[in-house]
Structure 1
């Protein structure tokens, strides 16, 4: 597998920790794969007097500078620029080390080829012709207004931000019950920004083999920086950013650290790249993800309000045989607190009733109001458990005011 050769190198280094040439070779390979923190860990065990080569000294200085440790970098001299550092050069390695590195380089190239095919990432990148806007999102006017003011306007006014020495980009976390349109709002935000939308599934990043997930993240962020303006959307970010503990594996901690380093733009600026993420369980997020400069902007995406519910019901019913006298406003009034997925299930349940009636009568029976009302009674809102849990967190763990929007929603909608 792609990590085998690198693991072998690390094993050799553990057996011969005094082998400076091998240590530098491992550090160069780690930097080439974007595993900056691993290279930094190895760099701390080297003293400036141990190395005489100017190239090697510049390389170690660059490792420290990349991590923002300017004082340590100064001890090694001023680091060279990236194009002056022979990251891939390992000619000084021992013959056995070279034999380990060669197959790893081939495997690493294969991993990269999985990420970018024909110039496009294998993650979902939306063509600008397929973009949607807030006009395509029914209801949720408060959410759209807040996003317009706090995200879209600053993102589009990069010149104004530069004048006030404020960087564009950063991270925005959307949270709320499942099935309430967080992904659609993210797509519409990209459309309003006139930005490329790239959706990234966390399952496409995670990998049991050491170093592969970090390389995939490097590839994703690199492509976003090369195609600005871009909005990167990470769905179910909690799968990556859950709170770490003493039992968290080194592999997971390394991957999280690498993701945060990419967000921070440690190696490259992220101007023109906005990171959006969605989660159903924001209270499980590691505090490192929520600190200023990362996902410090949070938006509660509640269950759809009345205009949004009617729009969803109309969209789901469109194209199906239905009577013309359907009273959408009546179904809308009876489904407060239902998610978009719940509303789609109501239409599906009514469709099943129409199909049963059609089969029983040997003639087409369209969906009627009675079927819709019956289906609405059968389908229960899936958001109740989430809102109950959210209420507890908002009531007892809300010192920062992070969940004030949840409390306001519960107050207005009476779900206590």
Structure 2
């Protein structure tokens, strides 16, 4: 890159006065004009980390993350003639059409059309009722939505101990809304290169907007959107700032994009992400109730050779167990029957003694989570955010 005295002077000025927002924005704008997008993104992320509502910074960030176009004066006719023998022209008669359900989602996105609904979620009646009242009912009724001025967008945060089906619930929500589903994990967002994580986020939201109506689901939100006060590096704070920009949909609008997220540690999520218009609604997903435990056990035993299994008894003995714990119980019982069959040389069925014998070998995984949650309820619930969790802990005599 050729030296640019003006940019070098501005860089030195910003280094000397890092809190001067107008100066940093001026530098970012010039960097964009010179084609140094990654450096511009880093400066804009710093501004948005300090001031998430800065409209000028948000607009520049959207411009920086937009796909690059051809240079000025690009000769389209010459370019087309050069590749005419290699690449056939698009959208001509006889060309194979792309099916409507195949949405171009980019290299890191995998958009699917879920076939599951809340009817496929065993038990969890209270959770499904709250989910319907808080999120689904306004979305299903366009007439009432229009009457009350409710836009076709929304954000919901699912939280609770690990292994209790938060991802499956999010997919069921997409099925209920007859929307596509785009699940986002850490590997789709975080990148070691400066500015790449912010661009990944932007491209994922673009994919969801193209696929609308679409449920965009962020797993482990506390890792992507951790409290900026705890983050030492500017790069991590920039990711949170970019997520705030995308949630607000400043440039493109998020109509038809339903943003859901799951976390085991909602108290670690940046407070700006919990403001109105973002993840302003929360739903506590607790370990499955007795009816749900029966359904989960039946599901994990359905393809195994079993005999004499008393599912209601097992469900009663596994109060407080997560769905993952119940799956582990069935796997451990299967191993016991397999080893016994190998020793005797005669294959036998998985019976109730195998399952009851496996019970003491498994420690419910939610115990550690509830211990941490108890401290949050006791010392960090002045605003009532975790009242529902407090009620559950009292009911279970854990508080």
1:311 aligns with 2:291: no
Q: Pick from 323, 326, 351: which aligns with 2:309? A: 326
- Is the partner of 2:228 in helix, strand or coil? coil
Tell me the equivalent position of 1:200. Answer: 184
Offset of residue 413 of structure 1: 2.8
Tell me the equivalent position of 1:355. Answer: 338
Offset of residue 401 of structure 1: 1.4
CA distance in 2, matches of 1:331, 1:11: 74
CA distance in 1, matches of 2:344, 2:269: 54
- CA gap of 1:182–1:17, structure 2 versus 1, over 3 A, is closer
Unaligned runs of 5+ in 2: 14-22, 49-54, 74-101
CA distance in 2, matches of 1:10, 1:236: 42
Tell me the equivalent position of 1:289. Answer: 273
- CA gap of 1:15–1:127, structure 2 versus 1, over 3 A, is same
- Is the partner of 2:255 in helix, strand or coil? coil
Q: Is the Cα contact below 8 Å between 1:155 and 1:168 reproduced in 2? A: yes
Q: Is the Cα contact below 8 Å between 2:103 and 2:210 reproduced in 1? A: no
CA distance in 1, matches of 2:278, 2:27: 36
Tell me the equivalent position of 1:239. Answer: 223
- Is the partner of 2:241 in helix, strand or coil? helix
1:255 aligns with 2:239: yes
CA distance in 2, matches of 1:90, 1:156: 45
Aligned length, in residue pairs: 350
Offset of residue 156 of structure 1: 2.5
Offset of residue 10 of structure 1: 9.7
Tell me the equivalent position of 1:137. Answer: 121
Q: Which digits, 9 at most, give the CA deviation of each residue in 1:49-78, with x for residues without a partner?
A: xxxxxxxxxxxxx9568379xxxxxxxxxx
CA distance in 1, matches of 2:322, 2:4: 50
- Is the partner of 1:199 in helix, strand or coil? strand
1:209-248 equivalent positions in 2, closer than 5 A: 209-245=193-229, 248=232
CA distance in 2, matches of 1:222, 1:367: 49
Tell me the equivalent position of 2:32. Answer: 27
Report the TM-score when normalising by structure 1: 0.75
Tell me the equivalent position of 2:159. Answer: 175
Q: Is the Cα contact below 8 Å between 2:28 and 2:43 reproduced in 1? A: no
Q: Is the Cα contact below 8 Å between 1:304 and 1:339 reproduced in 2? A: yes
1:406 aligns with 2:384: no
- Is the partner of 2:373 in helix, strand or coil? helix
CA distance in 1, matches of 2:369, 2:398: 11
Q: Pick from 353, 367, 376: which aligns with 1:370? A: 353
Offset of residue 365 of structure 1: 1.3
Offset of residue 388 of structure 1: 1.5
CA distance in 1, matches of 2:40, 2:122: 42
Offset of residue 407 of structure 1: 1.6
Q: Is the Cα contact below 8 Å between 1:125 and 1:196 reproduced in 2? A: no
CA distance in 1, matches of 2:42, 2:352: 61
Offset of residue 11 of structure 1: 10
Q: Is the Cα contact below 8 Å between 2:159 and 2:283 reproduced in 1? A: yes
Q: Is the Cα contact below 8 Å between 1:13 and 1:23 reproduced in 2? A: no
- CA gap of 1:90–1:307, structure 2 versus 1, over 3 A, is same
- Is the partner of 1:120 in helix, strand or coil? coil
Report the TM-score when normalising by structure 2: 0.78
Moved more, 20-29 or 212-221: 20-29
CA distance in 2, matches of 1:375, 1:321: 17
CA distance in 1, matches of 2:57, 2:385: 35
Offset of residue 204 of structure 1: 1.7
Q: Is the Cα contact below 8 Å between 1:354 and 1:367 reproduced in 2? A: yes
Q: Which digits, 9 at most, give the CA deviation of each residue in 1:5-53, with x for residues without a partner?
A: 8xx99998235659999965523447799949729969xxxxxxxxxxx
Aligned-pair Cα RMSD in Å? 3.5
Offset of residue 206 of structure 1: 0.3
1:189 aligns with 2:177: no
Tell me the equivalent position of 1:112. Answer: none
CA distance in 1, matches of 2:169, 2:197: 27
1:266 aligns with 2:250: yes
Offset of residue 159 of structure 1: 4.6
- CA gap of 1:136–1:30, structure 2 versus 1, over 3 A, is farther
Tell me the equivalent position of 2:59. Answer: 66
- Is the partner of 2:176 in helix, strand or coil? helix
Q: Is the Cα contact below 8 Å between 2:44 and 2:60 reproduced in 1? A: no
Tell me the equivalent position of 1:275. Answer: 259
Unaligned runs of 5+ in 1: 43-61, 69-81, 93-116
Q: Which digits, 9 at most, give the CA deviation of each residue in 1:54-107, with x for residues without a partner?
A: xxxxxxxx9568379xxxxxxxxxxxxx9xx99857769xxxxxxxxxxxxxxx
Q: Is the Cα contact below 8 Å between 2:32 and 2:40 reproduced in 1? A: no
1:38 aligns with 2:23: no
Tell me the equivalent position of 2:325. Answer: 342
Offset of residue 120 of structure 1: 3.5
